[in-house]
Amino acid sequence: MKFQYYIPSRVLFGSGQLDRLHKQNLPGKKALIVISCGTSVRKYGYLARLEEQLDKAGVAHVVFDKIQPNPTEHHVMEGAALAKTEGCDFVIGLGGGSIIDSAKAIAVMATNEGTFWDYVSGGTGGGKAVPVTPLPIVAITTTAGTGTEADPWAVITNPEGEKIGFGYDGTFPVLSIVDPDLMMSVPEKLTAYQGFDALFHSTEGYINRYTNPINDLYALKAIELIGKSLAKAVNNGSDKEAREDVALANTLSGMSESIGGCTSEHAMEHPLSGKNPKLEHGAGLIMLCEAYYTYWAERGVIDDRMIAMAKALGKTDATKPMDFVDVLHDLKVACHVDDLKMSDYGIKEEDLEIYTKMAYDTMGGLFKVDPADMPFEDCLAIYKKAYR
């Protein structure tokens, strides 16, 4: 029983927490606010509320608003250049996982030379150590999906379609605000996609061969909260209690990622949305999940953990590994995402071997923490079984 625990982020959780930002010990005097290229944070007043808080705190600010749902290295470098030009001394990510991930990557490149891909490991990444400490990062999440407010990870895509996770101790947010009030406006489909992403961060952490007792606690609680409340949040976005449950599950899943970590399911999804940017990451995971967890149920190497996850997700009388797959399918139906098809996003069945190779080339480390070794042929077979 050996493990390390390190999650240094201060987290303010609960309704109304954004309004407490001006009272915090903020890490600088001028912030680069990173938001999406969409309209939601302006439309719903979240950006204006953040700017009001910064004004109250006497902190200057400038906005960078070009981040896409699958964030790119190009916009990371553009945001970092703006931070340098404007003399920003910290970065705030206001939005979903892609925004906060981008804020982390921008914070790295605002203080370091070269390109972001110089520091990425996997694929064509240079794998260099980051020589200069990044700018401090503040995360204000408006979605419940990636858990990035409580972990060091940033997932960015390069021009070749390589979508790879990057992170180290220096990219933990120093302060995170998780205010469920900011999540009430997330549409039904995105609520589902994001919630399933949080679910799989937790399930993967729980089956990771290097999990530990603290991670198990976080992961199972997150699974339980999602089983209890995700469908409620999807079907009634104004259900405040359900939104709070899913928000907490998301933060716990981020903590699970910090001290446990994902497995090959995420490695398999990244090439799909990396090469097909219109595919939402959570939707890609939903497409893969039943085939993926059926594989592990049939392998018979984590039977007790599959049963425990089934019970946490809501099948309290679970007795066999496939019970988890069954209750997972039921949750997909309840959230109206059981009809997703790879073919609807332009993914071709004849290209699945290419995606398999990319999964190993870009995120091969995740296969090494699987419950047991997954041969290339088995990975390809999961893609084929999941394909529609």
pLDDT at residue 300 in the model:
97
**pLDDT for the residue 1:** 72
Give the model's confidence band at 4: pLDDT under 50 very low, under 70 low, under 90 confident, else very high.
Answer: confident
Please check the confidence at residue 250 and state whether its pLDDT lies above 80.
yes
pLDDT for 79-93, tens place per residue? 999 999 999 999 999
Report how far residue 30's alpha carbon sits from residue 32's, in angstroms, rounded to the nearest whole number.
Answer: 7
Nearest Cα to Cα of residue 256 among 229, 224, 220: 220
pLDDT at 266 over 90: yes
Out of 67-71, 104-108, 377-381, least confident range: 67-71
Percent share of the chain, pLDDT over 70:
100
Average pLDDT over residues 327-349: 98
Q: State residue 247's pLDDT score.
A: 98
Q: What confidence tier does 358 reach under pLDDT thresholds 50, 70, 90?
A: very high
Helical packing angle, 376-386 and 264-275, nearest 10°: 60
- Summarised one tens digit per residue, pLDDT across range 21-54 is 999 999 999 999 999 999 999 999 999 999 999 9
- pLDDT, one tens digit per residue, over 297-322 is 999 999 999 999 999 999 999 999 99
Confidence of residue 203 (pLDDT cuts 50, 70, 90): very high
Q: What is the pLDDT of residues 363-381, one digit of tens each?
A: 999 999 999 999 999 999 9
Q: Is the pLDDT of residue 357 over 90?
A: yes
Arithmetic mean of pLDDT, 5-11:
96
**pLDDT value at residue 37:** 95
* Model confidence pLDDT, tens digit, residues 122-163: 999 999 999 999 999 999 999 999 999 999 999 999 999 999
Q: How confident is the model at residue 2 (pLDDT cuts 50, 70, 90)?
A: confident
Averaged confidence pLDDT in the chain: 97
Q: Are 32 and 79 contacting, i.e. CB atoms less than 8 angstroms apart?
A: yes
pTM: 0.96
In this prediction, residue 339 carries a pLDDT of 97
